Amino acid sequence: MKYGRFEDLPVWQAAIELAVRVYDLTRDRFFNQPGDLHSQLRRASLSVSNNIAEGFERGSTAELLAFLYIARGSCGETRSMLLFTERSPEATHLKSEISNLKSLAESCSKQIRGWADSLQNSDIKG
C-alpha cells in the first residue's frame, strides 16, 4: 500500500498515540520531582512521530531511512525511561499504564524496523 500523507501511516498513528499517552502519564504527581525526567520522557516520545513525519516528507529513501532509525532510537529511549520509572517505589500506582506504554513503544519500534528493512531491500532508490 502506498501512502500520500504521513498522517495516514499506521506507524505514525501509533507513535502519536504513544506521545499523547506519555504526556498524560507525565501529568502524574510522580513527575513533579526535581530533575528532567518529565520533559525528557515527553521529548523522546514525541520525537518518534516527529521523525517519522520528517523522514516521510524528505525527498529520498536514504533520508527517510535515517529519520526512521532516529525514530526507532527514540522508541528505545522512551522505553528506557519508562523502565526507570517503573522501578521507582513512588511510581507503583503507574505500573499498569507504564506496562501498556512500554508495549506500545516496542510495537512502534518493530513497525519502524520492518518498514526500514523493506525499504533497504527494495528496488526503490528515490
Per-residue HEC secondary structure of 85-107 comes to HHCCHHHHHHHHHHHHHHHHHHH
pLDDT at 126 over 70: no
CA dist list (Å): 35 to 39, 40, 118: 9, 9, 40
Give the per-residue pLDDT at 125: 56
* pTM of the entire predicted model: 0.93
Give the per-residue pLDDT at 13: 98
Give the per-residue pLDDT at 121: 84
Res. 122 pLDDT band, cuts 50 70 90: confident
CA distance 27 to 3: 34
The pLDDT tens digits of the residues spanning 22-75 come to 999 999 999 999 999 999 999 999 999 999 999 999 989 999 999 999 999 999
Give the per-residue pLDDT at 124: 61
Give the per-residue pLDDT at 102: 98
The pLDDT tens digits of the residues spanning 70-103 come to 999 999 999 999 999 999 999 999 999 999 999 9
